[in-house]
Amino acid sequence: MKTRLFQKRSIIPAPVDEVFAWHERPGALERLSPPWDTPRVIRHTGGIRPGTEVTLKMKAGPIPYTWQARHEDYQPNRFFSDIQIRGPFAVWRHSHRFSPEADASTVYEDTIEYALPFPGRWFGFTDRIIQQKLNHIFRYRHATLAADLADHLKTPNPSPMTILVSGGSGLMGASLIPYLTTGGHRVIRLVRRQPRPGHNEIFWDPAAGRLDGEQLDGIDAVIHLSGENIGEGRWTAEKKQRIVDSRTKTTALLANTIAALPHPPRVFACASAIGYYGNRGDAVMTEADSPGDDFISYVCRQWEEATAPAQNSGIRTVFLRIGIVLTPAGAALKKLLVPFHMGLGGKIGDGNQYMSWISMDDAVSAIRHCLVTPGLEGPVNIVSPQPAPNREFAATLGKVLSRPDRFPVPAAAIKLAFGQMGCETVLSGVRVTPARLLDTGFCFRHPDLETALRHLIGKP
Sign of CA dihedral 270, 322, 448, 133: positive
Which tops the pLDDT comparison, 328 or 124? Answer: 328
Amino acid at 389: P
User: Can you spell out the DSSP letters for 241-283?
Assistant: HHHHHHHHHHHHHHHHHHHT-SS--SEEEEEEEGGGG---TT-
Residue 128 pLDDT > 90: no
Q: One-letter amino acid identity for 100?
A: P
What is the predicted pLDDT for the residue at 149?
97
Rounded to 5°, angle at Cα 31 from 205 and 133 = 135
The rounded mean pLDDT for the chain is 93
CA 136 vs CA 121, 321, 324, 358: distances in Å: 20, 32, 25, 21
**Which homologous superfamily is 162-457 in?**
NAD(P)-binding Rossmann-like Domain (3.40.50.720)
295-337 per-position pLDDT tens digit: 999 999 999 999 999 999 999 999 999 999 999 998 899 999 9
Q: What is residue 2's three-state secondary structure?
A: coil
- Flag the least confident range among 117-126, 253-262, 277-286, 297-306: 117-126
What integer is the mean pLDDT of 174-188?
Answer: 97
| Amino acid at the residue 139 | R
Alpha-carbon distance values, 449 to 8, 444, 446 (Å): 26, 12, 7
Per residue in 144-175, pLDDT tens? 999 999 999 987 667 899 999 999 999 999 99
Strand partners, 321: 272, 381
The whole-number average pLDDT for the span 127-135 is: 87
What's the rounded mean pLDDT across residues 213-222? 94
The secondary structure of residue 374, as a DSSP letter, is T
Q: How many residues does the chain have?
A: 460
List, in sequence order, every residue forming a beta bridge with 81; answer none if it has no partner. Answer: 95
The DSSP annotation for 9-70 comes to: EEEESS-HHHHHHHHHSTTHHHHHS-GGGPPEEEEE--SSSTT-EEEEEEEETTEEEEEEEE
- 60 close to 88: Cβ distance less than 8 angstroms: yes
* Phi and psi at residue 337, to the nearest 5°: -65, -35
Domain range annotation of the chain: 4-153, 162-457
Pairing assessment for the beta strands 378-382 and 316-322 based on DSSP bridges: parallel
Fold type of domain 4-153: Alpha-D-Glucose-1,6-Bisphosphate; Chain A, domain 4 (3.30.530)
Proportion of the chain in helix, strand, coil states, percent, rounded to 5: 35, 25, 35
Phi, psi angle pair for 193, to nearest 5° = -130, 180
Q: What is the pTM of this model?
A: 0.95
β-strands 316-322, 210-211 pairing: unpaired
pLDDT reported for residue 157: 65
Under a CB-based contact definition with an 8 Å cutoff, are residues 385 and 366 in contact? Answer: no
Per-residue confidence (pLDDT) for residue 1, from 0 to 100: 66
Closest CA to 402 of 328, 341, 338: 341
- Distance in angstroms (rounded) separating the CA atoms of residues 189 and 165: 5
- Backbone conformation region of residue 11, classed left if phi is above 0, alpha if psi is from -120 to 50, else beta: beta
Nearest CA to 270 out of 251, 286, 246, 257 is that of 251
State the virtual CA torsion across 208, 200, 14, 363 in degrees, nearest 10.
Answer: -20
